[in-house]
Structure 1
Amino acid sequence: MVVPALNEARNLTRVLPELPEVHQVVLVDGGSVDGTVAAGREAMPEIEVVTQVRRGKGNALAAGFARVTGDVVVMFDADGSADPAEIPRFVDALRAGADFAKGSRFCAGGGSADITPVRRAGNQFLNAVTNRAFGTAFSDLCYGYNAFWADQLPVLDLPDPDVPGPASGKMLWGDGFEIETVINCRFAAARVAITEVPSVERLRIFGESNLHAVSDGLRVLRTVRTEHRRSRARAVPPPVGAAARRHVSIAS
């Protein structure tokens, strides 16, 4: 399990004890000043802590992916919005043949305690654009609770998380909040087996979200267009078939 966190100390004390027993939990800290790392270690002494070299959620996830030792990777937010009890659903979808288990608040059985009418409408529009561009049938593009087989990491082709950022301070492509859309688009472009998994988004426990409906929606739209051009300009690594997999351990 990969858990990116920036100043989520209070949330981690509530979230980590709820996790089921898994092979590995990687907490990626983005330079917190509220004792996030100490809180994580207190709540889960065996947790593995990584400090990201650059900034941004995408870089945090890539840094966590690089430390995974299990067979399954689960992307899990630290703010309490993801329900740990749903993890077996994602693993079951992978065991049933999916390469990528995509969480959805809008398929049958899903829901959200946090979505606003504006964000819902924006998500529907972005779904339509993405599905037309990639030939997919996503019902919820803008959701980050996902799981995939670790052997699919080469398909994502994310920037090396250990390389320092440019002196200009500009973020590398894939380092920011566009990461979830990048991941969805790259798996879609690779034509891996994707299964949507119903998920109910909970309210953040403490603190405020950094998401902004309009600016983030425009970023997602630019990401879809950029990734569509990328998919047409280059070949992607072939996915690894499920038949090649044997024993399963979870690095969520």
Structure 2
Amino acid sequence: MIDVILPCLDEAAALPWVLDRMPPGHRAIVVDNGSTDGSGEVAAAHGALVVREERRGFGAACHAGLGAATSDVVAFMDADASLDPGELPRLAAALDAGADLVLGRRRPAGRGAWPAHARLGNAVLARSLNRRAGTRLHDLGPMRAARRESLLALGLADRRFGYPLEMVLRAARAGWAIDELDVPYLPRNGRSKVTGTARGTVRAVRDMRRVLAEVPA
């Protein structure tokens, strides 16, 4: 079994599609980060384990899900229907082939799937990470997989939007083999709380730059 952690804030409309496409052998852990649209109830009705995380923040939700997971391999992905859970077995296969951390490199697969300001912010951060950590990544995407105990041992501390970057930065510092696979990136259901607005993108970039400054190279 592979536990799939889905941080969630008001994604009731998207969750049925996401959870109904969860591959066999994958258990969805939906971390409700203060939804007001009944996301938790929708997730439970579709068979997900629902974890409540009252502390707001993307990293807080991700880490709460990691704490609730019990499987050897865990995966992360967004709950907004922008990523297809059907791609997750490919990431797990890359771990079996020798990778320690596998990231899904987003490839837009529909009009409006990835706004220009969000792509630009992501590219700038990826270049900064590559210079800092010696990686050769193109994307800091939210779909990823690794082994649970190893992730916990990294001591991830950020609880905001810097969490995904800190994971990669600390993994590179620990000498992990980091792989990247192309995954289709679909137009999300509803409006993104992060990349859907320039303000949200700026906030995410700011958090990630803070992590780059704080985590030793």
Q: How many residues align?
A: 210
Show the 5 A alignment for 1:215-234: 216-217=201-202, 219-220=204-205, 223-224=208-209, 226-232=211-217
TM-score of the superposed pair, with normalisation by structure 1: 0.76
Provide closer, same or farther for how the CA distance between residues 31 and 92 of structure 1 changes in structure 2, counting only shifts above 3 A.
Answer: same
**AA matched with 1:21:** P
2:30 to 8, 15, 27: 27
The question of whether the paired residues in 1 share the 8 Å contact of 2:162 and 2:211 is answered with no
1:145 is aligned to 143
Q: Which structure has more strand as a fraction of its residues?
A: 2
Provide closer, same or farther for how the CA distance between residues 27 and 225 of structure 1 changes in structure 2, counting only shifts above 3 A.
Answer: closer
Provide closer, same or farther for how the CA distance between residues 187 and 224 of structure 1 changes in structure 2, counting only shifts above 3 A.
Answer: farther
Partner Cα separation in structure 2 for residue 51 and residue 126 of structure 1: 30
Show the 5 A alignment for 1:124-143: 124-141=123-140, 143=141
Are 2:191 and 1:190 aligned? no
SS at match of 2:145: strand
**AA matched with 1:209:** S
1:208 is aligned to 191
**AA matched with 1:19:** M
SS at match of 1:66: helix
Q: Which has the larger radius of gyration?
A: 1
Provide closer, same or farther for how the CA distance between residues 224 and 136 of structure 1 changes in structure 2, counting only shifts above 3 A.
Answer: farther
Are 2:116 and 1:117 aligned? yes
Specify every segment of 5 or more residues in structure 2 that has no aligned partner in the other structure, as ranges. Answer: none
SS at match of 2:54: coil
The question of whether the paired residues in 2 share the 8 Å contact of 1:58 and 1:175 is answered with yes
Partner Cα separation in structure 1 for residue 30 and residue 214 of structure 2: 33
Specify every segment of 5 or more residues in structure 1 that has no aligned partner in the other structure, as ranges. Answer: 160-173, 233-252
Tell me which of the two structures has the higher relative contact order, counting C-alpha pairs closer than 8 angstroms and 6 or more residues apart. Answer: 1
1:15 is aligned to 18
SS at match of 2:7: strand
TM-score of the superposed pair, with normalisation by structure 2: 0.88
Show the 5 A alignment for 1:230-249: 230-232=215-217
Are 2:177 and 1:179 aligned? no
The question of whether the paired residues in 2 share the 8 Å contact of 1:73 and 1:147 is answered with yes
